[in-house]
């Protein structure tokens, strides 16, 4: 399996998980099949929606070696790469916190509606982090400066809470993009330290799994002073999932010199072993995404490995690539694909446009079918934006 084929598979699976993320996020109405939506925090089990995000996190880890090796080939030293990792992480944290707080805004205290604030925030984010095709650097600077100014003003006027108890922004759980940022930071730093060393990478994976277990057992109290900022890392779950993707990526890179049967057999066996390990841990920890239990994390990793192997069989072994073109653009423009639909959501809500009529249908298939169409439409929307030069890149 060559590098090109492997990257295509990564982009395809990343695009597939984004498609499913858009799909399940649109299924926020009653009456849809229970196995498609998030399960309750205290329920011992999981549905499709409980795998989608960790599936994407796993792919973040798989992509790390390719991204860093690309920078090394361009002549960047380790310090420059480290600076890039920190900047990218901070960017994801900022966007994640802004997105998470949008629903907390009090219109009366802030003097602006939630939808308008959300639209202006997203437009500012695109201005700051867009990958411009315009050659004029002065235009780049002006557009980015407008974006920064917009974010500063929006953050300054933001107020939450009530007139009696006004509040401001909180980091909370950092939002989806914030979690991706912390996971990416962990995996990227692990790779800078271990490079292609499978054993050392595996040790880091076990360390984060141990942190996850200790956290669930309430045995990380000695780290309480660090939790206000580093709770995601200390919790272990998110970095464990991303580093698992990193380990699997390195394993496949190592196996490219082996015969095809060895490669397929190793991937399938590893996926099954990880999946079974999760069910073994279920004896002590329930399967719960909301609680980010180690059993849930390992089961999701096992599913991700098996899904990736299935996609690899189609794309890399059997050469079936045409169907992948539907999802590949989303995988190549993941941040745009994730954020751009939110602009449309805010516009629809602000002007009460009856786009989501299917959510009120009595027939379950119409509700689900509507969300499927919406997810496909949003992938196409992001691909269209990329073609006209609107593409986020951190």
What range does the domain containing 12 cover?
A: 3-387
Structure token pair of residue 326: 């539907």
In a domain, 233, yes or no: yes
Stretch among 7-11, 140-144, 266-270 having the lowest mean pLDDT: 7-11
State mean pLDDT over 194-215.
96
* pLDDT tens track for 60-113: 999 999 999 999 999 999 999 999 999 999 999 999 999 999 999 999 999 999
In a domain, 392, yes or no: no
Judged against a pLDDT cut of 90, whether residue 220 lies above it is answered with yes
Judged against a pLDDT cut of 70, whether residue 257 lies above it is answered with no
Residue 161 dihedral angles phi and psi, to the nearest 5°: 80, -150
**Residue 320: strand, helix, or coil:** coil
* DSSP code, position 105: B
Judged against a pLDDT cut of 50, whether residue 143 lies above it is answered with yes
Residues in the chain: 394
Residue 143 dihedral angles phi and psi, to the nearest 5°: -65, -45
State mean pLDDT over 218-244.
95
State mean pLDDT over 167-187.
95
Stretch among 144-148, 205-209, 277-281, 355-359 having the lowest mean pLDDT: 355-359
CA distance 4 to 9: 9
* pLDDT tens track for 278-317: 999 999 999 999 999 999 999 999 999 999 999 988 888 8
Judged against a pLDDT cut of 50, whether residue 3 lies above it is answered with no
Percent of the chain past pLDDT 70, that is, above it, reads 98
In a domain, 394, yes or no: no
| Biggest CA pair distance of the chain | 69
Q: In Å, what is the CA distance from 227 to each residue of 81, 224, 339?
A: 26, 5, 28
| Average pLDDT over the chain, rounded to an integer | 92
Judged against a pLDDT cut of 70, whether residue 13 lies above it is answered with yes
State mean pLDDT over 358-377.
89
The pLDDT value recorded for residue 84 is 95
Give residue for tokens 């692990």: 190
In a domain, 248, yes or no: yes
Structure token pair of residue 29: 């109405």
* pLDDT tens track for 16-57: 999 999 999 998 767 788 888 888 889 999 999 999 999 999
In a domain, 393, yes or no: no
The pLDDT value recorded for residue 38 is 86
Stretch among 1-10, 101-110, 199-208 having the lowest mean pLDDT: 1-10
Pairing of strands 166-167, 160-161: antiparallel
In a domain, 154, yes or no: yes
Percent of the chain past pLDDT 90, that is, above it, reads 78
CA distance 77 to 129: 24
Predicted TM-score (pTM) of the model is 0.94
* pLDDT tens track for 369-385: 999 999 999 999 999 99
The pLDDT value recorded for residue 316 is 80
| Total domains, the chain | 1
CA distance 135 to 118: 29
In a domain, 262, yes or no: yes
State mean pLDDT over 115-132.
96
User: Contact 205/247 with Cβ under 8 angstroms?
Assistant: yes
Judged against a pLDDT cut of 60, whether residue 6 lies above it is answered with no
In a domain, 187, yes or no: yes
Q: Which one is predicted more confidently, 93 or 263?
A: 93
State mean pLDDT over 174-191.
96
């Amino acid at each position: 399996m060559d590098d090109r084929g492997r990257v295509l598979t990564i982009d395809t699976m990343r695009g597939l998980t984004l498609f499913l993320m858009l799909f399940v996020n649109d299924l926020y109405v009653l009456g849809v099949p229970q196995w498609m939506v998030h399960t309750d925090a205290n329920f011992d089990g999981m549905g499709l929606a409980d795998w989608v995000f960790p599936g994407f996190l796993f792919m973040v880890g798989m992509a790390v070696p390719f991204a860093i090796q690309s920078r090394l080939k361009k002549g960047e030293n380790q310090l420059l790469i480290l600076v890039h990792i920190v900047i990218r992480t901070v960017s994801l944290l900022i966007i994640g916190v802004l997105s998470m707080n949008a629903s907390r805004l009090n219109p009366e205290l802030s003097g602006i509606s939630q939808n308008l604030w959300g639209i202006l925030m997203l437009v500012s984010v695109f201005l700051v982090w867009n990958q411009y095709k315009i050659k004029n650097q002065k235009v780049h600077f002006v557009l980015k400066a407008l974006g920064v100014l917009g974010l500063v003003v929006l953050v300054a006027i933001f107020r939450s809470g009530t007139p009696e108890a006004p509040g401001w922004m909180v980091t909370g759980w950092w939002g989806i993009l914030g979690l991706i940022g912390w996971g990416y930071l962990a995996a990227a730093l692990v790779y800078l330290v271990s490079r292609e060393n499978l054993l050392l990478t595996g040790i880091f994976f076990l360390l984060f799994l141990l942190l996850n277990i200790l956290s669930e057992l309430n045995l990380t109290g000695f780290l309480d002073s660090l939790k206000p900022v580093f709770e995601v890392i200390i919790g272990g779950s998110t970095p464990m999932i991303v580093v698992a993707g990193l380990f699997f990526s390195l394993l496949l890179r190592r196996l490219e010199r082996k015969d095809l049967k060895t490669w397929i057999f190793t991937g399938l066996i590893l996926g099954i072993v990880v999946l079974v390990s999760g069910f073994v841990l279920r004896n002590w920890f329930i399967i719960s995404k909301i609680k980010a239990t180690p059993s849930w994390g390992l089961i999701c990793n096992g599913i991700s490995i098996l899904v990736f192997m299935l996609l690899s069989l189609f794309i890399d072994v059997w050469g079936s690539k045409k169907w992948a073109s539907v999802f590949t653009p989303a995988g190549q423009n993941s941040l745009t694909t994730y954020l751009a639909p939110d602009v449309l959501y805010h516009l629809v809500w602000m002007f009460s446009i009856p786009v989501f009529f299917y959510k009120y249908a009595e027939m379950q298939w119409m509700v689900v079918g509507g969300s499927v169409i919406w997810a496909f439409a949003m992938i196409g929307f992001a691909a269209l934006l990329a073609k006209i030069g609107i593409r986020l890149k951190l």
